[in-house]
Each structure stands twice: as structure tokens, then as C-alpha cells.
Amino acid sequence: MEPPRRFRYRPVCSAPGCREPAVYKIAAPWSDGPRRELKNYGLACAIHRDAQLARGRSHRDGLKLEVGESMGDVRLFRLDPDRRDTELDCVGDEAPPEPADVPPTAPA
């Protein structure tokens, strides 16, 4: 079996005006029986993850499913360029990662 293909681009956050790299996919598990996928509600950087998650959930609330379709809750999935969307890890509502510690600069 051939290894999965990496993203050919760096996805960016879906928040208006944001150009930060996306860390999360906002999505809900969807199925019509034989097929399963993640229904995409956007991408989010660490800064906009909560607002984008709330936006995705509000859009999900208005969705009408056809007979035979099922959909789970809208959640956060950590993007990984080496994995397909159905293989992404759900991170639920965990706290965003903390920024890397920056050592203090010495006084001049």
C-alpha cells in the first residue's frame, strides 16, 4: 500500500482576515450507511478555535439530514498532513496548546 500523501499546501484558519496556519479541522462525523467522512465546518488556528467551533456548531444546528444519514456532534480534530480526515484525532474541547516558552532576554 502506498503511503498517504502529505498536504501540498499549508491550510489556513477560516476566521475572516486570519492568515495563521490551521491547527484544527472543525467537523462532525457523517455517514449515510456505507460511507463515512467528516463533514467540514472550517479550519481554525489556536487563537480562533473556540469561535470557529461555535460557528460550526451553529451551522450544524440548521442542517436537515436525509433518510439514512446520521451525523455526530461538531468537534475539533487535530490536523495531521500524514492522515486522512477520517483518521484525524478528535481533541474534543481540550485547551489550546500553550505557546512555547521564550527565555527572557538579558538586560543590555
- Closest by alpha carbon to 17, among 45, 41, 40? 45
Q: 59, exposed or middle or buried, with CB in 10 Å at 0-12, 13-18, 19+?
A: middle
The answer to whether the CB of 7 falls within 8 A of the CB of 85 is no
Q: What is the pLDDT at residue 103?
A: 37
| pTM above threshold 0.85 | no
Q: What is the pLDDT at residue 56?
A: 93
Q: Could you read off the pLDDT tens digit of each residue along the chain, which spans 108 residues? A: 666 565 577 899 999 999 999 999 999 999 998 999 999 999 999 999 999 999 999 988 878 888 999 999 999 999 988 888 888 989 965 554 444 333 343 444
Instruction: Indicate the SS3 state at residue 23.
Output: coil
